[in-house]
Amino acid sequence: MGSGQAREEAGGVAALHPGQLGGVIVTYAEADAATGRTAIDAAVRAFTEDSWRLDPRARATALSHLADAYTARMDEVVDTLCQENGKLRREAGFEAHFIPRAFRFAAGLALTPHGRVTDTQPGRQSMSIRQPVGLAGIVVPWNSPAYLCIRALAPALAARCTAVVKMPGQAARTAAPAPSSPASSA
């Protein structure tokens, strides 16, 4: 068994170590349909009821803070990618270095309203404004879980959408915040 594999264990599913035959990295719980529905309902409520989407500076600041957090923990991200995916350190570092860049790019997008004005006829203009439509459902593959998750999530948040993310079981450690992370202390 190697990268991209898991096996059922008492109390959860084991993500297997790609470099150790039968070695377990972490055991994770699989969510059922009811848990998924609860996550979707919470994201829809956040989109419709919370005022965060009305404040582009708050979104840009949050995305910038996430970039800073990933930068501060880059070695940990690289180690996790090496262990879970069996990547060489150089390859994992290459993937991980895109994460803060994606957050910072999205932070800039949050501050830049997008739209278009065109002349439809002499003396008349048409204006289109891009607006969020709601919830983004993001399903992340196992082979590059860290960057591919952020590549989809950061622009969705910048565009004022909420999101539900389904991480792969084979990347359970990548998906789980460490005890000292800002997300777990908030």
| Per-residue pLDDT reduced to its tens digit, 81-130 | 888 888 899 999 999 999 999 999 999 999 987 778 899 999 999 988 77
User: Is the Cβ–Cβ distance between 43 and 163 less than 8 Å?
Assistant: yes
The model's pTM: 0.76
CA distance 78 to 88: 9
Q: How far apart are CA 23 and CA 171, in angstroms?
A: 14
pLDDT tens digits, one per residue of 130-140 = 778 889 999 99
Which pLDDT score, from 0 to 100, does residue 72 have?
96
Q: Closest Cα partner for 86 from 143, 141, 140, 148?
A: 143
Q: Average pLDDT over the chain, rounded to whole?
A: 82
163-175: pLDDT as tens digits: 999 888 777 777 7
pLDDT at residue 20, rounded to an integer = 65
Query: Count of CB atoms within 10 A of residue 134's CB?
Result: 11
